[in-house]
Amino acid sequence: MGFTGSSSSSVRQMAILSLVVVLLQSFQSGSTSPSIANIDIDGALGGLQQALEGLEQQNENNRLVVRDLTRQTLLNIFQSEDRIRAEGDSGIVQVRYSRLGTKNYHANTFVGTSFISVHDHSNAINTCGMGEFIAVLNGVEFQTRHNDYLLVMPSTTSKDWHATEPVPFPPVPESVTSLPTPEVDTAC
């Protein structure tokens, strides 16, 4: 293997390194002042070639180590996910924290102030709120962000993709409509 750098910066660095090796070699040969006559250029280039081959081998070894570590990490993740799937259970694991305490059991797990942090949105018509949560469905774990849903259902009249229509509300109960006046209605 030889030097295969293509950038001018790499070529410049190699030229400087070659010059340093040649100068060091001339000083090591016992000469107090370097001259062209006592510089072994072929020997310096041979040493430089050996150093480059050593660096290339080390680079290949590092690449193999990173490859093996990456493979091991992926296998660990797969094993962890497979273990969760093998457990096969489904359920809510964690909901949004709305309170904390000095003990673990003071904080919310799957139920806090409401089941999976479901809340109303009286400021937005036909909207049901649900806080972020972590759930396992058939052994696969999911994490969601904050979820606020419009109360809509698939369209019964349109065939368009993702077409929806509002969920119809049930009729007002007869026990309410049979009351004689609004005053009686609110007096209950």
Q: How confident is the model at residue 54 (pLDDT cuts 50, 70, 90)?
A: confident
User: Of the ranges 32-36, 78-82, 161-165, 174-178, which is most confident?
Assistant: 161-165
Domain that holds residue 60: 8-87
Last residue of a domain, one of 43, 65, 87: 87
H or E stretch at 129? strand 127-130
On whether residue 12 sits in a domain, the answer given is yes
Tens digit of each residue's pLDDT (9 = 90 or more) over 83-124: 776 676 777 777 776 666 677 666 666 566 777 788 888 888
* More confident position, 139 or 31: 139
- Residue 117 exposed, middle or buried by CB count within 10 Å (0-12, 13-18, 19+): buried
On whether residue 36 sits in a domain, the answer given is yes
Give Cα 90 to chain centroid, integer Å.
23
Q: Can you give the pLDDT at residue 1?
A: 42
Pairing between strand 127-130 and 118-120? antiparallel
Q: Mean pLDDT throughout 172-185?
A: 78
Q: Can you give the pLDDT at residue 75?
A: 86
Q: Mean pLDDT throughout 48-76?
A: 89
Contact by Cβ (8 Å): 145, 153: no
Same domain, 43 and 67: yes
Same domain, 82 and 95: no
Q: Can you give the pLDDT at residue 2?
A: 46
pLDDT at 135 over 60: yes
Q: Mean pLDDT throughout 29-40?
A: 59
Q: Mean pLDDT throughout 12-29?
A: 68
Q: From edge to edge, which strands make up the β-sheet containing 91-95? A: 91-95, 133-137, 140-143
On whether residue 164 sits in a domain, the answer given is yes
Q: Can you give the pLDDT at residue 154?
A: 95
Last residue of a domain, one of 36, 71, 87: 87
